[in-house]
Amino acid sequence: MQIKFCGAAREVTGSAHLLILNDGTKILLDCGLYQGRAKEMQDFNEKWLFDPAELDSVVLSHAHIDHCGRLPKLVKDGFKGVIRCTHATRSLCSIMLLDGAKIQEKDAEYFNRKVEKSRNFDEDDLREPLYTNQDVEETMKNFVSYGYDRWFKIHDDVEVLFKDAGHILGSASVTLKIRENGKTITFGFTGDVGRPSRPILRDPQPMPEVDYLICESTYGDRDHEEAPAETTHFLEIINHTCIEKRGKLVIPAFSVGRTQELVYILDQLVAAGKLPPVPVYVDSPLAVNATTIFGAHPECFDDQLNDYMLSDDNPFGFNNLHYIRDTEDSKALNTMQDPVSLLALRAWRMPGAFNTIYLIASNIPGIRS
């Protein structure tokens, strides 16, 4: 067996690791999009370090774009095999990849408008999107999904096991049992490892012992604030910004994962009578769709959320919570004067306007007040 690192090696994005078995079988672990502007990585998303048509299988750890975002490009360039993942990962990929296609198309459109305005315009300078909605539709036909904690075959001599990684909905560590030359090699790929004691999801589950391991190390050098201190800090920010300062709070949050965590925490604060009576807006169609998918996959929930749902069957909805889907409604939030005025990324005082918590989806983690 050989291994070739094709992304996220000495980088934190563009995950892709190729296993080549002695009989020539090729298995790709993740197929992520490179996200960044490093000059040396400009061509990463366009080029492959292998022939997509020669791949037999893709095993996907989770639905974040830096782990799944090049799948439509892979199919577009000749991949005909099966993409294997958990049930929730497949559901999330169906919206994440469509959102990615929209971004690719808009980026190409913007680039081409600039090129066409230049004096030395040349047709060869125009750019095609990395992939389109149609490529995503073809890609989703290749998906086959599995539950956690069950071995399944992807080859006569290869079995795979998904264990809950606790990172995002459906995330999994991947263990492969590979039989070669009369012996069995156990190979592990952690994917991205979640933090214990997080809202909504179960804690990361231990992997079986392995002979070889590819392990994430992105946050290995830092400590994170833990619950309940995190929730207490969150409530302090809300009260300080929205009640004491009569301001607006804008929270940049990942569309998948962080937004749902924040909404769930807010729901708990409402149930406990602790949240001030302020309107809350989730302004991202992707985040809204992802929240719907969260509700459809209770198999990923931890015991705390399952217990909570005995008294509240909708942990992602409460009075004063508004999900924004329409572009015009989103734009209206920017100009709304009465009763609500909103400004992004920092708190402002607006005489005569009610206080508001405004959640927006972006790739900036954390809270800004």
Q: How far is 15 from 221, CA to CA, in rounded Å? A: 20
97 assigned to some structural domain:
yes
92 assigned to some structural domain:
yes
Domain match, 205 and 245 both: no
Domain match, 355 and 245 both: yes
CATH number at residue 286: 3.40.50.10890
Q: How far is 2 from 24, CA to CA, in rounded Å? A: 10
- Look at residue 278 in the predicted model and tell me its pLDDT: 82
* Both tokens assigned to 280: 């809350």
219 assigned to some structural domain:
no
Q: How far is 224 from 258, CA to CA, in rounded Å? A: 14
State the amino acid at position 251 in one-letter form.
I
Q: How far is 63 from 86, CA to CA, in rounded Å? A: 10
Domain match, 256 and 207 both: no
8 Å CB contact between 221 and 193 = no
Domain match, 161 and 188 both: yes
367 assigned to some structural domain:
no
- Look at residue 55 in the predicted model and tell me its pLDDT: 97
**What is the tally of structural domains in the chain?**
2
Domain match, 208 and 238 both: no
Domain match, 104 and 251 both: no
- Look at residue 366 in the predicted model and tell me its pLDDT: 41
- Look at residue 367 in the predicted model and tell me its pLDDT: 40
Q: What residues have CB less than 8 Å from 38, skipping those under 6 apart?
A: none
**Tens-digit pLDDT profile for residues 291-343:** 999 999 999 999 999 999 999 999 998 888 888 888 787 777 766 654 342 32
DSSP code of residue 301: B
CA separation, residue 177 to residues 28, 129, 173, 209, 211 (Å): 15, 38, 14, 11, 10
Domain match, 142 and 291 both: no
Domain match, 255 and 187 both: no
Cβ neighbour number for residue 87 with a 10 Å cutoff? 18
* Strand spans (E) along the chain: 2-7, 16-20, 26-29, 57-59, 82-86, 143-146, 152-155, 158-164, 172-180, 183-189, 212-214, 248-253, 280-283, 321-324, 356-361
CATH number at residue 56: 3.60.15.10
Domain match, 203 and 262 both: no
Domain match, 184 and 247 both: no
Domain-terminating residue out of 189, 214, 239: 214
- Look at residue 286 in the predicted model and tell me its pLDDT: 86
Domain match, 238 and 281 both: yes
Domain that includes residue 58, residue range:
2-214
Q: How far is 252 from 360, CA to CA, in rounded Å? A: 5
pLDDT below 50 — which residues of the chain?
Answer: 338-354, 361-369
286 assigned to some structural domain:
yes
Domain match, 308 and 194 both: no
Domain-terminating residue out of 191, 214, 237: 214
- Look at residue 336 in the predicted model and tell me its pLDDT: 62
- Look at residue 125 in the predicted model and tell me its pLDDT: 79
Nearest to 68 by CA among 54, 77, 58, 76: 58
pTM: 0.85
